[in-house]
Amino acid sequence: MEWLISLAIGVLTASGVYLTLRARTFPVVLGLTLLAYAVNIFLFAMGRLTVGLPAVIDKTAEAAQYSDPLPQALVLTAIVIAFGMTAFLIVLALKARGELGNDHVDGLDEAPHNNASKEAK
């Protein structure tokens, strides 16, 4: 299971990094989402990987026979925040698309005279 989880985190992170380095806004948004997924799984795995154990300490169970509930709380917080941020980023990307006339992350397109004529309107 460790191999599978670490492979998943690695692939998600690598794809996320690749996509955030793209020139257009939509792949960047997707890349940030993938990075957020990767970090969520990573946080989850930091509570140690366990199978079939209760989340809360049970008085009858032996000591250390529970899965750590704190990373799960952290992941919940992180998911909510990442969700909100992604929504905001999408709206901002749409606003940039509308105002700059293209979806490049660096905004202004290569031919400056186009921008000048747009501004003149």
Partner 1 sequence: MSNLVAWPVFLPLITGFILILAHMGGIRLQRTVSFLAVIGLVLLSGAMISATSTDQYQVYLLGNWTAPFGIVLVLDRLSALMVLITSILAVGALWYAMTTDTDKKGAHFHILFQMQLFGLNGAFLTGDVFNLFVFFEVLLLASYGLLLHGNGRLRTKAGLHYVVINLIGSTLFLFAVGALYGVLGTLNIADMAAKVAVAPQEDLGVIAAAGLLLLVVFGVKAAMFPLYLWMPSAYANTSAAVAALFAIMTKVGIYSIIRIHGTIFGTEAGELAYYYAPWVLGLGLITLLLAALGVMASRGLREQVAYLVLASVATLLIGVGLMSPMALSATLYYLIHSTLIAGAMFLLADVILRGRGSYEDRFESSPAMPNAILIGSIFMISAIAMTGMPPLSGFFGKVLILSAALDDAWFAVITTVVLVAGLITILSMARTGSLIFYKILPEESVPASERGEPLNRMAFIAVIGLLLASPILVVFAQPITAFTEATANQAFNSAAYINAVLSTPAVTEVNK
Tell me which residues touch partner 1 (CB under 8 A): 20, 25, 28, 32, 35-36, 38-39, 42-43, 45-48, 70-71, 74, 77-78, 81-82, 84-85, 88-89, 92-93, 95-96, 99-100, 105-108, 119
**Strands (DSSP E) found in the chain:** none
Cα–Cα distance measured from residue 27 to residue 34, given in angstroms and rounded to the nearest whole number: 10
Half-sphere exposure of 67 (CA within 13 A, CB side): 15
CB-nearer residue toward partner 1: 18 or 88: 88
Residue number with CB closer to partner 1 (46 or 61): 46
Of the candidates 43, 42, 38, the one whose C-alpha atom is nearest the C-alpha of residue 69 is 43
Residue 38 CB, nearest approach to partner 1 (Å): 8
Minimum CB distance to partner 1, residue 19 (Å): 12
CB of 59 to partner 1, least distance (A): 18
End-to-end CA distance of the chain: 60
Cβ neighbours of residue 57 closer than 8 Å, sequence gap 6 or more: 66
- Of the pair 21, 61, the CB lying nearest partner 1 is at 21
Minimum CB–partner distance for residue 58 and partner 1 (Å): 18
